[in-house]
């Protein structure tokens, strides 16, 4: 991520004399996951809807109607059962195949409006509108909203500002303030003043709970106060990150648009188990599956991994003895081989495993990633074996890409058939289901990515 050091950077980032002053728009899908569900199920419109995290654990997306009855982000499902029943909240397991595809459609639509686009997350994109300064940007943003809605079905809010942080503020304010029509332009100083005065410092992008508490002790509780605070004092309190936010609030752009997606520096695959796990073999099977996912990502970005970490842990929400342990192994010559990774993960696991513990979660972390093309061998590495691995993996990837995920997999992942989601929650905890299979009892179909799930009209 490119960031200007405000210490060395006296003039703004775009210092070139002929380049237009930067203008950012942040487009954000409203209640994105819920909106995706609504696109394929119109009966959800105007209803309270929530989407749950993995294992149907807690709330990660909610519609305005769900917010209105007091359901909060992160609420555990099992604590809001009453409210769900009373208000007939429609509840869904997350369906990332669907959301990922809807996201791609939204981004493709946005790309029609500017060549300079940064896909920031699954439901957000920054657009550079610096080249459109001659136009009425509020009108332009309304047009963007209209077309995204028409072509994807997703409602959005758009915030405009001279910096990313101000565009973020504008976006949040646009969402809250219904009269703005989903668009707010914060390029004007007077508008900035009126919005920032009412905007909580804790809601500014980059200010989390810890930082908000520190600022409050300084007497800073609004975004306006933060903007007008002494930048050096803020730096002392919140490091350079906080100082950058102050400058951004003042309209000095420190965070640039990043159009190219850099390769990941770390790949994590970890999950809580659907049921308690005690046995080494079960952990091995779970980790084999996580390592498989991680290596697929690794190969997709054409990297090789030089460090593998494995961790296991108990349920941190449960009273009683806790256990966490992790171990690491390094590869002299980097690898992206699922087979090698699973073998290595097993080795680490045997070192950190203790008998008689109720495990709740495990995972693998691949780090020290470097280009696969630059793997360096020592005298003792078996280069022939390495070449064979690469060939085997590319065959496996090709088959899985054509025939579907896990058509071909390593034996250590377990032979268990894909579970049937028609089973209910209580049955899902029978030992027949592998521990690493996630609970998802309320998953919708993959309308956009599987032929057999295509929506039928008029039948």
Contacts with DNA, residue ranges (CB under 7 A): 1, 3, 53-55, 57-58, 60, 74, 76-78, 120-124, 168, 204-212, 239-241, 262, 264-272, 276, 293, 297, 315, 317-318, 360-361, 363, 425, 438
Q: How far is the CB of 73 from DNA (least distance, A)?
A: 7
Classify residue 76 by its DSSP letter: B
Nearest distance from residue 137's CB to DNA, in Å?
A: 21
Using CA atoms, how far residue 255 sits from 74, 228, 245, in Å, is: 29, 19, 9
Q: How far is the CB of 83 from DNA (least distance, A)?
A: 15
Among residues 204 and 412, whose Cβ is nearest to DNA?
Answer: 204
CB of 171 to DNA, least distance (A): 9
Cβ proximity to DNA: between 232 and 239 the closer is 239
Minimum distance from CB of 110 to DNA (Å)? Answer: 15
- Which residues fall within 8 angstroms of residue 321, CB to CB, at 6 or more apart? 314
Closest to DNA by CB, 319 or 355: 319
Q: How far apart are CA 372 and CA 147, in angstroms?
A: 41
Whether the Cβ atoms of residue 366 and residue 267 lie closer than 8 Å to each other: yes
Written as one string, the DSSP assignment of 407-425 is SS--GGG--PPPPPTTS-T
Q: Which is nearer to DNA, 12 or 206 (CB)?
A: 206
Rounded to a whole number of angstroms, the minimum distance from the CB of residue 135 to DNA is: 27
Please report how close the Cβ of residue 309 comes to DNA at its closest, in angstroms: 9
Between 317 and 380, whose beta carbon lies closer to DNA?
317
CA distances from 26 to 88, 144, 168, 184, 375 (A): 33, 11, 6, 10, 39
Q: Which is nearer to DNA, 210 or 384 (CB)?
A: 210
| All residues at 6 or more sequence positions from 44 whose CB lies less than 8 Å from its CB, including other chains | 34, 37, 38, 63, 90
Q: Which is nearer to DNA, 20 or 397 (CB)?
A: 397
The position carrying tokens 């209910």 is: 424
Q: Residue 318 or 354: which CB sits closer to DNA?
A: 318
How many whole angstroms separate alpha carbon 91 and alpha carbon 77? 9
Parallel, antiparallel, or unpaired for β 183-185 and 156-161? parallel
CB within 8 A of 178, min separation 6: which ones? none
**Cβ atoms of residues 23 and 187 within 8 Å:** yes
CB of 20 or CB of 67, closer to DNA: 67
In whole angstroms, the minimum distance from the beta carbon of 448 to DNA comes to: 20
User: What span, in angstroms and rounded, lies between the C-alpha atoms of 287 and 351?
Assistant: 14
Least distance (Å) between residue 248 CB and DNA:
12
**Residue the block writes with tokens 């046995």:** 279
Displacement of CA 372 from its chain's centroid (Å): 25
Q: Which residues lie across from 184 on neighbouring strands?
A: 159
Residue 261 vs 459, nearer CB to DNA: 261
Handedness of CA 229, 231, 233, 238 (dihedral sign): positive
At its nearest, how many Å lie between DNA and the CB of residue 274?
Answer: 8
β-partners of residue 113 are none
DSSP β-bridge partners for residue 90: 49
Residue carrying structure tokens 């930048």: 231
């Amino acid at each position: 991520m490119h960031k200007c050091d405000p210490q060395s950077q006296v003039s703004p980032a775009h210092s070139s004399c002929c380049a237009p002053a930067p203008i950012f728009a942040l487009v954000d899908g409203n209640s994105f996951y819920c909106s995706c569900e609504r696109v394929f199920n119109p009966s959800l419109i105007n209803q309270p809807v929530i989407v749950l995290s993995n294992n149907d654990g807690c709330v990660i997306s909610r519609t305005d109607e769900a917010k209105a009855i007091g359901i909060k982000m992160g609420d555990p499902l099992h604590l809001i059962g009453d409210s769900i029943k009373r208000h007939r909240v429609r509840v869904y397991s997350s369906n990332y195949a669907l959301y990922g595809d809807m996201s791609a459609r939204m981004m493709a639509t946005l790309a029609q409006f500017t060549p300079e686009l940064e896909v920031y997350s699954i439901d957000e994109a920054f657009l550079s509108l610096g080249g459109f300064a001659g136009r009425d940007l509020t009108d332009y943003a309304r047009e963007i909203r209209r077309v995204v809605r028409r072509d994807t079905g997703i409602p959005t809010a758009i915030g405009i500002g001279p910096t990313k942080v101000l565009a973020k503020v504008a976006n949040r304010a646009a969402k809250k303030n219904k009269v703005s029509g989903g668009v707010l332009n914060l390029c004007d100083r007077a508008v900035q003043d009126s919005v920032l005065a009412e905007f909580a410092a804790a809601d500014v992008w980059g200010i989390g709970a810890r930082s908000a508490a520190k600022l409050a002790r300084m007497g800073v509780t609004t975004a306006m106060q933060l903007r007008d605070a002494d930048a050096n004092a803020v730096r002392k309190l919140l490091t350079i990150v906080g100082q950058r936010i102050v400058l951004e609030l003042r309209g000095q752009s420190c965070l640039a648009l990043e159009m190219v997606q850099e390769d990941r520096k770390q790949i994590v695959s970890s999950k809580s188990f659907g049921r308690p796990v005690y046995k080494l073999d079960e952990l091995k099977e779970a980790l084999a599956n996580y390592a498989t996912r991680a290596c697929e990502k690794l190969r997709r970005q054409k990297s090789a991994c030089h460090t593998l970490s494995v961790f296991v842990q108990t349920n941190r929400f449960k009273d009683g003895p806790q256990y966490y342990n992790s171990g690491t192994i390094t590869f002299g010559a980097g690898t992206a081989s699922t087979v090698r990774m699973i073998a290595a993960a097993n080795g680490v696991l045997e070192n950190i495993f203790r008998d008689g513990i109720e495990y709740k979660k495990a995972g693998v972390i691949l780090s020290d990633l470097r280009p696969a093309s630059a793997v360096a061998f020592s005298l003792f590495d078996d280069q022939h074996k390495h070449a064979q691995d690469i060939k085997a993996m590319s065959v496996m990837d090709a088959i899985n890409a054509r025939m579907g995920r896990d058509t071909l997999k390593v034996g250590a992942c377990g032979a268990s058939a894909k579970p049937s989601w028609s089973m209910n929650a209580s049955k899902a905890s029978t030992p027949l289901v592998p521990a690493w299979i996630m609970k998802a009892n309320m998953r919708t179909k993959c309308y956009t990515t599987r032929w057999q799930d295509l929506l039928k009209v008029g039948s």
